[in-house]
Amino acid sequence: MCIAVPMQILSVDGTMATIGVEGLEQRASLALVPDAGVGDWVLVHAGYAINILAADDAQETLSLLAELGEWGAQDDPDADVG
């Protein structure tokens, strides 16, 4: 299953951006969201920012994803969710 994840734009170089969340940084294309800039939250899928998000919406989504991770770990006593 594929999922899009909220990440914050840390820097922009042309149509590419360095984005990050929870200490993870990667590069993503801004071709689909040309109005996005440093500090914006974007929904990222397969190396592309596909939508600009409000900061509150991004945080809510990240919290829900964390809850799903904790829920899934209940079935696996060897899982490390922290």
Neighbours of 38 (CB within 10 A): 11
Cα(30)–Cα(35) distance, rounded to whole angstroms?
Answer: 8
pTM over 0.85: no
How does pLDDT run along the chain (82 residues), one tens digit per residue?
688 999 999 999 999 999 999 999 999 999 999 999 999 999 999 999 999 999 999 999 999 988 887 876 776 666 555 5
Please tell me the CATH code under which domain 5-73 is placed: 2.30.30.140
- Write down the domain spans for the chain: 5-73
